[in-house]
């Protein structure tokens, strides 16, 4: 089983730690693509910082983030579970897990990254600023670059198990399962239900709910291999879960988690 998570936009900068070593990251097949993106990001931030601000969607008072990206090759690193912060990761609260759950998280959680493609929680990374959907001079459109590289890596990582996809849309675009893999990947939508029965996509509580869903799955002793088994685990942990009818076009199955408005 894999639990696919988005990164956080905000990140905690390590106060100290070894510099980045691409050779030590999980998924070594991504090494060349990571180097290409890293070199392109560092180059534009060093040579054209004003352009980099616009490119990364930052304001002038966030120039410190450009300076940090310009020196990612020497920035201190920490494990990804300490660097990624924000609503989803606060709810997931990886550092509070007991040793058994921690080992499961290390095996199963895969975090999407515009800079690294994909990392595990034990990988040492610097705090960086780069979002999926960015087009970098020298590297091109990152979504396209990662789609070419992540396919074989994700196929190997999934094996014959289930992948629970909690990623946000920009990171879904970096890797989509093939038609043959589609039934192994369960996408999850968090919906709010009104008193009149209408259901709408949740925005405010989406990230926190997905963090809670990931935490429940990590803490549970079972490893689901089907959509129904996944729904049963989350129901056991108090979530209201709906399994829609499978799509006839062979796309990945969906699972809906319902919250009250």
- Rounded Cα distance between 39 and 145, Å, is 14
Burial (CB count <10 Å: 0-12, 13-18, 19+), residue 107: middle
* Beta carbons within 8 Å of 227's beta carbon, 6+ residues apart: 186, 243, 253, 255
Angle between helices 142-158 and 31-47 (to 10 degrees): 150
pLDDT at 237 over 90: yes
| pLDDT tens digits, 57-67 | 999 999 999 99
Closest CA to 26 of 63, 66, 80: 80
* Beta carbons within 8 Å of 174's beta carbon, 6+ residues apart: 112, 114, 117, 132, 142, 143, 146, 147, 150
- 160: containing domain: 2-260
| pLDDT tens digits, 178-234 | 999 999 999 999 998 877 778 888 777 899 999 999 999 999 999 999 999 999 999
| pLDDT tens digits, 36-90 | 999 999 999 999 999 999 999 999 999 999 999 999 999 999 999 999 999 999 9
Query: Regarding predicted confidence, which is higher, 245 or 16?
Result: 16
Pure H helices in the chain: 31-47, 49-55, 63-69, 80-83, 87-92, 99-108, 142-158, 169-172, 206-219, 227-236
Whether 185 and 165 have beta carbons less than 8 Å apart is answered as yes
Q: Provide the token pair at 63.
A: 């120039």
Whether 9 and 84 have beta carbons less than 8 Å apart is answered as no
- Amino acid 245: pLDDT: 85
Distances (CA, A) of 55 to 3, 46, 137, 171, 173: 30, 13, 10, 18, 19
- Amino acid 261: pLDDT: 65
Residue 167 pLDDT class (50, 70, 90 cuts)? very high
Domain count, the chain: 1
| pLDDT tens digits, 104-163 | 999 999 999 999 999 999 999 999 999 999 999 999 999 999 999 999 999 999 999 999
* Beta carbons within 8 Å of 169's beta carbon, 6+ residues apart: none
- List residues bridging with 188 in a β-sheet: 255
Closest CA to 145 of 3, 35, 44: 35
pLDDT at 16 over 90: yes
Measured in residues, the chain has a length of 261
Q: Give the dihedral sign, CA 49/55/61/65.
A: negative
pTM of the model: 0.95
């Amino acid at each position: 089983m894999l639990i696919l998570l988005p990164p956080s936009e905000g990140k905690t900068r390590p106060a100290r730690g070894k510099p980045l070593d691409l050779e030590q990251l999980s998924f070594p097949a991504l090494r060349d693509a990571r180097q290409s993106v890293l070199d392109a990001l560092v180059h534009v931030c060093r040579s054209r910082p004003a352009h980099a601000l616009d490119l990364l969607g930052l304001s002038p008072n966030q120039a410190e983030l450009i300076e940090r990206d310009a020196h990612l090759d020497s920035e201190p690193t920490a494990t990804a579970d300490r660097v990624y912060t924000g609503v989803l990761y606060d709810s997931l609260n990886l550092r509070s897990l007991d040793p058994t759950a921690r080992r499961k998280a290390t095996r199963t959680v895969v975090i999407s990254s515009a800079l690294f493609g994909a990392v595990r929680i034990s990988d040492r990374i610097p705090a960086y600023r780069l979002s999926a959907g960015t087009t970098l001079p020298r590297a091109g459109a990152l979504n396209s670059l990662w789609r070419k590289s992540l396919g074989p890596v994700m196929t190997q990582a999934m094996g014959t198990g289930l992948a629970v996809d909690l990623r946000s849309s920009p990171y879904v675009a970096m890797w989509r399962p093939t038609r043959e893999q589609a039934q192994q990947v369960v996408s999850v939508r968090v919906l709010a239900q009104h008193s009149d029965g209408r259901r709408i996509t949740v925005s405010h509580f989406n990230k926190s709910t997905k963090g809670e869903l990931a935490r429940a799955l990590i803490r549970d002793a079972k490893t689901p291999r089907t959509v129904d088994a996944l729904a049963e685990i989350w129901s056991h942990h108090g979530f209201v879960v709906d399994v829609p009818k499978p799509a006839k076009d062979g796309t990945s199955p969906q699972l809906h988690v319902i919250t009250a408005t």
